[in-house]
Chain A
Amino acid sequence: MRLRQGQFSFLPDLTDDDIRTQAQYAIDNGWAVSVEYTDDPHPRNSYWEMWGHPMFDNPDAAAVVYEVNECRKEHGGKYIRVLAFDATAGWESIRMSFIVNRPAEEPGFRVVRQEGEGRSIRYTVESYAMREPEGARYA
């Protein structure tokens, strides 16, 4: 099951050229672009590992593509995303986020039911990948 998170996740995988175009859009808007990776695909996991610093002063998106490829060399079997952070007052938040790399096998999520007091049931989702310890989740 393909992970659908962030922008463009219902489109085919972005090529390096696509990534460059999108990152250039963010840079031209004055947003700081950064690269992050994780092997925990849970939708509420907002704290991915940072790959280097956010790129505050690179005028050209070729640097972003370069870093994405460097990150792929090390974490090619994990999820990698590109973020654009807008620091202007009032926003101070992520303006763009899209996945640029995913594991070869994505096992998907299961529903977990927890029985509460009385007859109440609590539902949650858990990635099948999360059954393995960190670092062993994707081949």
Chain B
Amino acid sequence: MTAEPKEMSPQTVDLAAAYEASGVKEVLRELDETLIGLAPVKKRIKETAALLLVDRARREMGLATETPTLHMSFTGNPGTGKTTVALKIADLLHRLGYVRKGHLVTVTRDDLVGQYIGHTAPKTKEVLKKAMGGVLFIDEAYYLYRPENERDYGQEAIEILLQVMENNRDDLVVVLAGYADRMDRFFDSNPGFRSRIAHHIEFPDYSDDELARISETMLAEQNYVFDGAGKRAMEEYIGKRRAQPHFANARSIRNALDRARLRQANRLFETSTGPLDAKALSTITEADIRPSRVFQGGLDVDRAHEETRA
């Protein structure tokens, strides 16, 4: 009988090869191409990817045994791409082998916290089970904690979350997201969370220039284009919209474009006399953007009109 050769841990590691083989490169490239701006976020993700790759190599050589803490917090204003980045992170962790399935489960307070005694724990556990093997994304996580009501069931959800985040570290990664200042207050009142979260990533607001590029990409995805004047109108729109309340970065742009498409459809319907070609059907012009309320001073102006009429 011959002895089976024992499996040896490798003596050297080729990081470049591991990088190629894991497919991380593709995810990072996709991240770079599909997301405009967000330079600090991209940098952090690249650093994290490098860390995880090295950590994996160390584990293969038997140097490290513990799973690193991967729970993250994303802070930033609305519409800065937190959910989109979470999707990419899930994919990245899946390719690196840190989560088994790589799906993203997005929840808010309503999905975790019950309405009566004894309702919260099963509800939270159900969500956690669904997220196992993937990434659990808790949007506006600070709503879980309501200090003004000491009998609020949110505390119960927090306790279960903390327990699972600690005990089932191999099974799921939790991402908490929300506005920066309120997240800070949330972490201050729940020190358990802060210590269990290794990566804090901040999402900056987009610049006007970036938003203009985003608007063009969004249109291109739906096979629309701006004409020259339309593009200039959009740039002006972005500058004006930012100064008005409830500005939500890329989300505001998406909504503005939806309304522009509506106006374009109406305009074509009312003004067209003959057959229309594909170009006419897919061009957003100045006339589709200028009528926006934003150019007349925003929502407040409308409300003022209504009040004077009433």
Task: Show the binding face of A for B, using Cβ within 8 Å.
Answer: 52, 55, 57-63, 66-67
Contacts and interface: CB of A to CB of B under 8 A. Distances in A.
A71 to B, nearest CB: 12
A59 B133 contact: yes
B60 to A, nearest CB: 19
Interface in B116-157: 122, 128-130, 132-134
Nearest to B100: A60
Contacts of B232: none
A60 B90 CA distance: 14
Interface of B: 100-101, 103, 122, 128-130, 132-134, 168, 170-172
Contacts of B134: 59-60
B130 A62 contact: no
Q: Could you tell me the dominant secondary structure of chain B's interface residues?
A: loop
Contacts of B128: 63, 66
A61 B122 CA distance: 18
A37 B129 CA distance: 20
Q: Could you tell me the dominant secondary structure of chain A's interface residues?
A: mixed
A44 B96 CA distance: 47
Contacts of B132: 58, 60, 62-63, 66
A90 B178 CA distance: 48
Contact of A63 (B103, B122, B130, B170): B130
Contacts of A55: 129
Interface pairs A-B: 6 shortest CB-CB: A60-B133, A63-B129, A62-B171, A62-B132, A60-B132, A63-B132
A53 B269 CA distance: 53
Contacts of A58: 129-130, 132
Given A60-B134, A66-B171, 15 more contacts: A55-B129, A57-B130, A58-B129, A60-B100, A60-B101, A60-B171, A61-B133, A62-B132, A62-B133, A63-B128, A63-B129, A63-B132, A66-B128, A66-B132, A67-B129
B168 A59 contact: no
B112 to A, nearest CB: 16
Contacts of B133: 59-63
Contacts of A66: 128-129, 132, 168, 171
A62 B168 contact: yes
B250 to A, nearest CB: 29
B207 to A, nearest CB: 38
B111 to A, nearest CB: 13
14 contacts: A55-B129, A58-B129, A59-B101, A59-B103, A59-B130, A59-B134, A60-B132, A62-B132, A62-B168, A63-B130, A63-B133, A66-B132, A66-B171, A67-B129
A25 to B, nearest CB: 14
A63 to B, nearest CB: 4
A15 to B, nearest CB: 15
A58 B126 CA distance: 9
Nearest to B133: A60
A60 B99 CA distance: 10
A67 B164 CA distance: 12
A127 to B, nearest CB: 32
B165 to A, nearest CB: 13
A47 B175 CA distance: 40
Contacts of B101: 59-60
